[in-house]
Amino acid sequence: MPSFLERQSNAFKGSLASAASKLSNPSSTKPAASSTLAPASPSAQSATSETTPTAKRKRDVKTTEVWSQPQLTGYGAEVKTQMAFAVDYLKKKGEPKTSDEIIDHLSLHRFTEEHKRELVEGLRGHPRVEWRPDADLTEQTWKTGRYVYRPIITDVKDKTSLLAHLQRKTDASGVSVKDLKDGWPDCEDALAELERVHKVLVVRTKKDNFPRFVWANDSSLHHDVQPEFKSMWARVQLPSVDDMHRKLVSVGQKPTSEDPRKAVQTGPAKKQQKRRAGKRSGKSTNEHMSHLLLNYSDMRK
């Protein structure tokens, strides 16, 4: 009768033999997990491809906007915007233009007839545009007539008309050069020439010497000072400020300023410092502790 150890040894050998037979037989081995799985569908492969961002990375990827086609911003599509372009076009040309020429310049051929008519009727009511009807037609339409820019100062185009405009003024106000340039852009040379012959007075900026305002001037009132008199005036020695003040007072004239000597004697006024108000002691609220706040230092031994 075999012993217990022998029975354990035989059982172990039998398990080894069965395991070896299973490993040596390829049909008994299970196929790989990858072979049993069905091939991934195209949609799944595209979803996990490298070019397509995953759900985790979608928030980090910025959408790129294609600029090959312009966006519909509405620039120039409004009637008022086109009207401003038309007024600027008439101002630069300085001559009458027909409605067809204005529409041609603004490239409005693709717009509707109603849109063109609204633009032309708006130009007829514009304060800076003058509409001149066609004299050969008895009945005017929105396509007839010519349009010309109406400047702020309508009757000034040259030096002669400028002098006539200044002489017609009934007040002492000048003419703004900015308003003058609205209908006469190249007026600066003419202003400089009229100023040189003393027919106008021009106020200019200090920094750039640009003309700002123009007044009428009488050239007959201008007299040239002889060089000899100028040299004599330069040799005159003017009195000092103190002597001038004293002489004016002695003849009973009031000086335009105070005596400079007084200003030197007195000197600048000293600023008085404001006194700080002392702290006001409030009402004592710890009267019940007054016996604790007494000074007992004299009772020391």
- The pLDDT of residue 190 is 93
Number of residues written out for the chain:
301
Supply angle C-alpha 202, 93, 166, rounded to 5. 25
Q: For the segment 16-28, what is each residue's pLDDT rounded down to a tens digit?
A: 666 666 665 555 4
Q: For the segment 125-141, what is each residue's pLDDT rounded down to a tens digit?
A: 999 999 999 988 888 89
Q: Which two tokens stand for residue 142?
A: 């929105």
Q: For the segment 242-266, what is each residue's pLDDT rounded down to a tens digit?
A: 888 888 889 988 877 665 566 655 5
- The pLDDT of residue 35 is 45
pLDDT at 33 over 90: no
Q: Of 50-59, 83-92, 262-271, 282-291, which range is least confident?
A: 50-59
Q: For the segment 71-89, what is each residue's pLDDT rounded down to a tens digit?
A: 444 445 588 899 999 999 9
Beta strand residue intervals within the chain, DSSP E: 97-98, 129-132, 146-149, 175-176, 200-204, 211-216
Three-class SS state of 172:
coil
Residue 26 makes CB contacts below 8 A (sequence gap 6+) with: none
Adjacency order of strands within the sheet including 129-132 = 97-98, 146-149, 129-132
Confidence of residue 36 (pLDDT cuts 50, 70, 90): very low
> Which residue did the predictor score with more confidence, 271 or 238?
238
Adjacency order of strands within the sheet including 175-176 = 175-176, 211-216, 200-204
pLDDT at 3 over 90: no
